[in-house]
Structures are given as structure tokens and as C-alpha cells.
A and B are shown apart, each in its own frame.
Chain A
Amino acid sequence: MSAQSTIATESAELQTLREKVRDLETRLAQVEGRVAEDRVSIVVFSGDLDRVMASFVIATGAAAMGQQVSMFFTFWGLSVMKKDRQLAGKSLHQKMMTLMSPGSSRSLPVSKMNYFGVGAKMLRSMMKAKNVNSLEEMIALARELNVRMIACEMSRDVMGIRQTELLDGLECGGVATFLADSLKSRTSLFI
């Protein structure tokens, strides 16, 4: 009689343990799904040469360290990815925006001491003198290192920038595209 009740208690305990293990396994799976990967994601909001340079140095450096890198170009940052200007068929505001924004990465201003582009030219020549790669070389390098580059569809549309004005082979995406990558990243930057 007492032996039977011991067996009954033990099997009840076993049952509780099994349930606990199952519960823990589910929770572990959830946690594992949220563990950050070796990934870096960067929002390039700025279209200032100095800031953009910094973002590409980080992106290429991280890629060289074996991290997966995503760069999201939004608002002024879209200028970095432009290859030429198109005016035909745009509204007045869009035309004004197009004329007043840089036509490509080559004409980005600097965030301080720009003086109508003189500052940017000066910085570029100083970087060249120090054998620092130009922004255009950095962009090419980032592509070579398989950095994922995404143009923000919403700001592209608002600012009247056509897909054809941007460099070829760019992905387009929105906030969820960025968040999907950034939530899995150990490092997320907004530049």
C-alpha cells in the first residue's frame, strides 16, 4: 500500500518535471530567437560628407571583421546613393528639391565650415593628402564587402527622388526592413 502511494507520488513529480522541462524548452527557444547576431545596422540620415564618411568607415570596418552590415539611406542620406539628377516630369517642389540637393555623393557638403562647398573640397583634398580613401572608393568597397544597402522608399518618394536617379542594384525598403535587421544587431547606429 505504502509502496504504491510512493510510486504514485513519484509519477506525479515526474509529470510536473516533464511539464517544467517543456515550459523551459519553449522559453529557451523564444530567447534564442532574440539573441543578437554578429550584425551592424546603420541609418544614414545625414547627407553631410563627414558624417557619411564615418558611417562608411564603420560599415566597411565591421564587414572586414566578419559582421553582416546593413545601411539604410533615408532623407538627406539618399544623396549619397544618387548617380544623377532628373528634372523632367517632377512637380515644382520636387524640382526645387532636386536642384537644391546634391546631385551625387561627389557634391555632398560638410556639416561644419562648408562655405558653399569650399570646406568639402578642402576636406577631400586633405583626406587625399593623408591617403584616406575617398567616399566613392568607400562606397565601392562596401559593395565589394557585401554590405547590404537599402534606400528608404518613403523618403525617396516624398523627396521626389526617382529610383533611376539612384545607383543601380540598391534595395528599397521601409522601417520594418531596418528594424528586422537592427533588432538582430548588436550595434545599431543613426548617423
Chain B
Amino acid sequence: MSQTFDQVFDARGLNCPMPLVNARKEIGKLEPGQILKVMATDRGSVADFQGWAKIAKNVELVAQENESIDGATVYVHFIKRTV
């Protein structure tokens, strides 16, 4: 998988609702059309980012994948700022 992205936000170690809240802030710094890669260790973030993309008008969930970094599962979300 080689999903392109413009910015990375490392939310590893953060717990609900911080990955979402901080990702929200980070995506505000992007230009419309750009993609933010969010790395999280919070398993709940998988459903959270899906829910966010469904409700909020300004984001689109491009892809989600799991990575294994140093033996820990990292949940990676690619979100695009649409507006």
C-alpha cells in the first residue's frame, strides 16, 4: 500500500477523544484536497474516524490500514480535507 499524503500526525499513545480532536486541529492546517496521515494506537480510532468522516462535511476518509511498528499495532488513517 502506498497511499500518498501531505502531512503526518502522530497520535500514538493518545486515547479517546484526543486522536480525533487533535487530528481535527491538524487537518485545519492543510489546504483543501490535501491528505493527512494519522497514526494512532487507540483501537477505537478506527471506528471513530469512520464516524467522523460520515458526519463532518469537510473530511473524507481515503483509506485505513494497520501497521506494525516495534511490535505494536498502529492504526493508520488517511483523511482528506475536502473544503
Residues of A within 8 A of B (CB): 38, 57, 60-61, 63-67, 130-133, 141, 145
20 contacts between A and B (CB under 8 A): A57-B17, A60-B17, A61-B16, A61-B17, A61-B20, A61-B21, A61-B48, A64-B20, A64-B24, A64-B52, A65-B51, A65-B55, A66-B56, A66-B58, A67-B55, A131-B13, A131-B14, A131-B15, A132-B15, A145-B21
Q: How many residues on chain B are close to A (CB under 8 Å)?
A: 17
| Best-surrounded residue of A60, A65, A130, A131 (most CB of chain B within 10 A) | A65
Q: In the complex, A133→B48 CA distance in Å?
A: 17
Q: In the complex, A65→B17 CA distance in Å?
A: 11
Residues of A within 8 A of B23 (CB): 64
What's the nearest-Cβ distance from chain A to residue B10, in Å?
Answer: 13
Residues of B within 8 A of A38 (CB): 55
Q: In the complex, A49→B5 CA distance in Å?
A: 39
Q: A65-B52, A66-B55 are in contact. Are A141 and B21 (CB under 8 A)?
A: yes
Q: In the complex, A145→B24 CA distance in Å?
A: 10
B62, CB-defined interface residue at 8 Å:
no
Q: In the complex, A60→B51 CA distance in Å?
A: 15
Residues of A within 8 A of B52 (CB): 64-65
Quick one: closest A residue to B17, CB to CB?
Answer: A61
Residues of A within 8 A of B48 (CB): 61
Instruction: Check B13–A64 contact: CB distance below 8 A.
Output: no
Quick one: closest B residue to A138, CB to CB?
Answer: B17
Quick one: closest A residue to B18, CB to CB?
Answer: A133
Instruction: Check B21–A60 contact: CB distance below 8 A.
Output: yes
Q: In the complex, A141→B14 CA distance in Å?
A: 14
Residues of B within 8 A of A130 (CB): 15
Residues of A within 8 A of B17 (CB): 57, 60-61, 64
Of B16, B55, B56, B58, the residue contacting A57 (CB under 8 A) is B16
Quick one: closest B residue to A130, CB to CB?
Answer: B15
Instruction: Check B15–A64 contact: CB distance below 8 A.
Output: no
What's the nearest-Cβ distance from chain A to residue B54, in Å?
Answer: 9
Residues of B16-60 at the interface with A, using a CB-CB cut-off of 8 Å, are: 16-18, 20-21, 23-24, 48, 51-52, 55-58
Residues of B within 8 A of A132 (CB): 15-16
Q: In the complex, A130→B43 CA distance in Å?
A: 13
Q: In the complex, A145→B22 CA distance in Å?
A: 11
Closest 8 CB pairs of A and B: A61-B17, A64-B24, A64-B21, A66-B56, A132-B15, A64-B20, A65-B52, A65-B55
